[in-house]
Structure 1
Amino acid sequence: MRPASSAGPPPCGRSPPRWSRPCTPPDGGTLSSFGVELDRYGRLVFDEERLAAAFAEDPDAVGAAFAGPEGFLARLQQVAEKASDPHTGSLTSLITSSTDGIQRLNDSIAAWDERLALRRTTLERQYTALEVALNQLQSQSSWLASQLASLDNDNGS
């Protein structure tokens, strides 16, 4: 178990956090005092009454918390830019990884199609050979039956 840290998560820009983790402002504050929090599913939850109360108490602090240079929108923009970077972004990595996975699956399907086609060809050849052998056996059976019938006719007369 790790000891509790009073510093909280690292501020934006230091030891790059995962894009999905919230960055805390340099002063260590959060938006929960303004009615904005993440629930256990990672969704933003908004409490209009707490925001209205905080705004009535200090409108400048609320404005700075959301739209200031270190505010929520600036931090959200940083996270979005890092996530959507066309070369190193986590979304790019996710798309590349998914595309690679799809390609591997398509290659696997193509290999199975080829194996199945070869198996089908082998089975069709076996079936054809068995049909030929069966026809030969039926022909021999007919010949033997006619020979036996002729023996019976010769002995019976």
Structure 2
Amino acid sequence: MTTSTTSHTSTSSAPVGRRTLFAASGVALASLALGATAAPAEAAPITTAVNRRAVVETARRGIGVRYRSGGTTTSGWDCSGFTQWVFAQHGVSLPHSASAQKRLGRKVSKGAAVPGDLVVWPGHVGVYAGGNQVIDAGNRRVNTSQRKVWGRPTYVRIGA
């Protein structure tokens, strides 16, 4: 029997007698099976329907919030804490890590990206606002702002 703690984690086919509990990040928390341990599972993509226009509106409400390393609230957040908060307002639970958030979505080309997708760089993430703009918690200098997309990020679609 496999138990999932959130709606977007995956269940895996495990041998009879094995029970594995997965966290939102897809990492096995507990595995019981005649002395065997389960390897960490890959997080399954989030398939919940997401209103991307509403995601962008929510992200814009965060503009001006100060950057705080490790933060996840409107008192201050870092990049992945910001995107975690934005999507949580729409019932989607994201982990507090840019790379983990990237793995929960489906990569799309820059040309196929739509407002409400994630824009991901190594170690950084924001919400695509359209028109080559990103809303992100950049650093203490820019805090949470909307600005031009730079470099060659990956665009990631969260949800259906």
Higher relative contact order (CA 8 A, sep 6+): 2
Q: TM-score range by the shorter chain?
A: under 0.3
- Which has the greater radius of gyration? 1
TM-score computed with the length of structure 2 as normaliser: 0.22
- Larger helix share, 1 or 2: 1
Q: More strand per residue: 1 or 2?
A: 2
